[in-house]
Amino acid sequence: MTTPKGRPLAPRPAPTLTPAQPLAPALEHPTAPRPSAPPELAPRIEVERLGMISTGSSAVYHELQASMRPGAFRALDGTPWPVAPIDKPSVRGQIELKPPFLDNFPAIPAEELEALTVGMHKQASELSGLEADMLDALTHEWIMQAQTPDSRAVVDIDALLRLRGIQPKKSGSGRRGGYEPEQRREVVNALARLQNIALSIETIDTYGEDAGASQRPRKTIRRGIKSRAFVFTTFIGQNRLDGSMDVERVTFTVGELFALYLWGSGRQTALLSAKALHYDPYRQAPEKAITRYLSYLWRVRATKGTYRKPLRVSTLLEHGGLTLNTRKPSLTLARLAKVLDTLQSDGVISTWRYDNWELGTAPPRGWAIAWLDALISIEPPADILEHYTRALRGGLPMHTNPRPLPERLRESRGRLGLSQADAAAAVGLTQQTYSRAERGAPVSTVNRAKLEAWLSTAGSLGTVDRIL
C-alpha cells in the first residue's frame, strides 16, 4: 500500500482496541509466581455489599482521574500529542494521548502523523466523566481478579454498564431485553480512548517490597518510567457483515506504572463509593468529581485520623469543576449545597456543615470573596471510618483479597470430595470452564461471581470474609 504521493506506508499493526475490530486470538493467562506474597485485597462480595469499589489512590492515579475532562490536555512544545502535565511533590511527568502502536512503530510519514495528532487532540476535547468511570471500573476489576502483578483481567461490557448503575431494558411485548447496542458502543468507545493514555514520568516515589512484616515499606525514588495505563490484549464479540465487531468482552492488564501502586507492599488503593460511577457524567459532573476527591482525601488522611479536617469552599469548587459566578454568586453557593446534599442523601458522606460562615450574617455586597475562604466540615460515612480504623489497628490489612481463586477452588472441591464435574454442576458452569478456572485461566466477571458465591457457601473464604 502506498500514499497518494507514491511513498510506501510504514508497516504497523492496527490499534489494539476499537469499536470495530476483528476477533483476536485468546492469550494464555500468565502463571509465573511473584517472588513476594500477593497482597490481600478486599473481597468483591464485601466491597460491593457496601456499595463501594476498589480503586487507585496514588498521586499518579489521582492526576490521571483529574485529566479525564475537556481542557485538561493541551499542546506543548517538543511533542505533537496532547499533554496533561503532572507536577506534584511525589511525582513529576506528563500524561499523553498517543496511539499504542506507535510504541513499537514510532517512524511514520509526516502526513499520517499529522492526521493521528489531530485525532488525538479531538479525543482530548471529548473526554468526560465516562472515561473517568471506565478508569475506576477497570482498576476495580483488575484489583479483584489479579493473582500476580502481570495478571490479566476479563470483564464483560455489560458488567461495566452495571457498575455504572445502568439497568438493562426489560423484555416484553415481543421485544428483546438487555442493553442497547448504543450503550455498549459508548463504553467501547471510552475504552478505545483509555488505551491511548501514555504515562511518561520523570521522577516518582515508590515503596520497596523487601521490608519485614513489622517495618514500613522502604521509600525509593525511580526515574524515567514510560508506561501505558492499560493494555488490552483480547476482545470477543459478534462479527458483523461489514467486518466490524460488536464487542462483548475484553481482556486487559495494567501497565507497569499502575502495577507499582496496585500490587505489593507499596500499593496505594482506596474505597470509592459506587455512586461516583452512577452519577450522570454531564448533569452531575461535580457530584462525580467531589466523590472521587473525598475518596482520595480520606485514604490520605486515614493514617492520622484527620478525616474531619475542614475544607475551604474554594478547594471544593476547584475539585468539583465549579467556578464562581461573579455576577450571581448565590447560584454557585446553591449548586455546591445541592452537590453536598446529594452526596449526603446517597450515603457518600454522613453530614456536612459550614464551620465559620452563614449567609444571613454576610454583608449584602462582596460576600462571595469571604465565602471562598469559608470552611466546610464533611463527615465520612461509618463504613469508611470502620474500614480504615480496623485496618490501621493492625487486625487486618488495609485492603484484603482472598487467596488466589484456583487455590481456593481446589481446596474446597477436595474438602467436599467432589470431582470437577460435580463442582462445575454445583457452580452452574460447564466442566471445561470450571477446569480452566482451577488452572488459573482468566475468568469472566459473571463466572467469577458464580464461583465466589459457591466458595462463600462452601465456607472456604475464612477470615477474609470479614468486613474490613
pLDDT (tens digit per residue) in 255-279: 988 888 888 666 788 889 999 999 9
Q: Give the model's pLDDT for residue 4.
A: 40
pLDDT bucket at 357, cuts 50 / 70 / 90:
confident
Highest mean pLDDT among 58-72, 201-215, 339-353, 358-372: 339-353
Share of the chain above pLDDT 90, in %: 41
Instruction: Give dist(CA 230, CA 253) in Å, integer.
Output: 6
Instruction: Give dist(CA 18, CA 234) in Å, integer.
Output: 11
pLDDT bucket at 50, cuts 50 / 70 / 90:
low
Q: Give the model's pLDDT for residue 304.
A: 76
Mean pLDDT, residues 198-216 taken together: 63
With a cut of 50, say whether residue 31 has pLDDT above it.
no
Is the Cβ–Cβ distance between 135 and 69 less than 8 Å? no
Buried b / exposed e across 283-300, counting CB within 10 Å, b at 16+?
Answer: ebbbbbbbbbbbbbbbbe
- Long-range pairs, 314-318, Cβ under 8 A, ≥24: 314/372, 314/373, 316/290, 316/376, 317/372
Question: What are 187-196's pLDDT values in tens digits?
Answer: 999 999 999 9
With a cut of 50, say whether residue 283 has pLDDT above it.
yes
- Across the strands, what pairs with 230? 254
* Dihedral, 80, 85, 86, 92 alpha carbons, nearest 10: 50
Mean pLDDT, residues 318-325 taken together: 94
Mean pLDDT, residues 18-29 taken together: 30
With a cut of 80, say whether residue 344 has pLDDT above it.
yes
Is the Cβ–Cβ distance between 68 and 135 less than 8 Å? yes
Among 130, 125, 119, smallest CA distance to 72 is for 125
Cell of 199: 504515562
Q: Please tell me the least confidently modeled range out of 8-12, 53-57, 141-145, 423-427.
A: 8-12
Mean pLDDT, residues 278-298 taken together: 92
**CA 79, 84, 90, 91 torsion: positive or negative?**
negative
Is the Cβ–Cβ distance between 399 and 54 less than 8 Å? yes
With a cut of 90, say whether residue 327 has pLDDT above it.
yes
Residue 167 CB neighbours (<10 A): 8
CATH for 405-465 is 1.10.260.40
With a cut of 60, say whether residue 124 has pLDDT above it.
yes
Cell of 71: 481542557
- Long-range pairs, 63-68, Cβ under 8 A, ≥24: 63/88, 63/91, 63/95, 64/95, 64/135, 64/197, 64/199, 64/229, 65/132, 65/135, 65/136, 65/292, 67/95, 67/127, 68/127, 68/128, 68/129, 68/131, 68/132, 68/135
Q: Give the model's pLDDT for residue 169.
A: 82
Question: What are 406-432's pLDDT values in tens digits?
Answer: 888 988 888 888 899 989 988 888 999
Mean pLDDT, residues 297-320 taken together: 89
Residue 22 CB neighbours (<10 A): 10
CA atoms within 13 A on the CB side of 51: 13
Q: Give the model's pLDDT for residue 175.
A: 56
Q: Give the model's pLDDT for residue 221.
A: 64
Is the Cβ–Cβ distance between 147 and 249 less than 8 Å? no
Sequence-ordered list of residues with C-beta below 8 angstroms from that of 392, at least 6 positions apart, any chain: 302, 303, 398
With a cut of 50, say whether residue 392 has pLDDT above it.
yes
Strand pairing report for 153-156 and 245-254: antiparallel
Mean pLDDT, residues 304-322 taken together: 91
Domain borders along the chain are: 58-169+181-267, 405-465
Q: Give the model's pLDDT for residue 375.
A: 95
Mean pLDDT, residues 385-401 taken together: 56
Higher-pLDDT residue of 151, 16: 151
Q: Give the model's pLDDT for residue 131.
A: 94
With a cut of 90, say whether residue 121 has pLDDT above it.
yes
Residue 371 CB neighbours (<10 A): 22
For the chain, the average pLDDT equals 79
